[in-house]
Amino acid sequence: MNPWVLLTLAGLLEVVWALSLKYSDGFTRLVPSIVTIIAAAASFWLLAAALRHLPAGTAYAVWTGIGALGVAVLGILWLGESTAPLKLAGIGLIVAGIAALKLA
């Protein structure tokens, strides 16, 4: 499979585990805790698979960027987090950074 597809899936699973970690309430709620562990393991596995073919620095930055972007956007949409202009500008910079790394 294309390493960029693997990396994208790994990043999306990072969003899943980060948000389910929030809902696990410090690993005191069973279902969100299980989702967190499974999604994190799958995310790391896909990242490792992508790293066979992509530079480590690029892959890691894109992986964390996808996770940060996804959690920030879903935090705004689902959790009622701030939409302050500076926060939105930061989200835009994450998108620009991911695009630059992909194109480089």
Return the pLDDT at 91: 93
Domain ranges of the chain: 3-103
Q: Quote the pLDDT of residue 101.
A: 86
- pTM summary value: 0.90
Q: What are the 10-residue block averages of pLDDT along the chain, 104 residues in total?
A: 97 98 97 98 98 96 94 96 95 92 84
Compute the C-alpha angle 25/34/72, nearest 5°.
55
Give the number of C-alpha atoms closer than 13 A to the C-alpha of residue 82, restricted to the C-beta side: 8
Amino acid letter for position 39: A
Question: What span, in angstroms and rounded, lies between the C-alpha atoms of 103 and 27?
Answer: 39
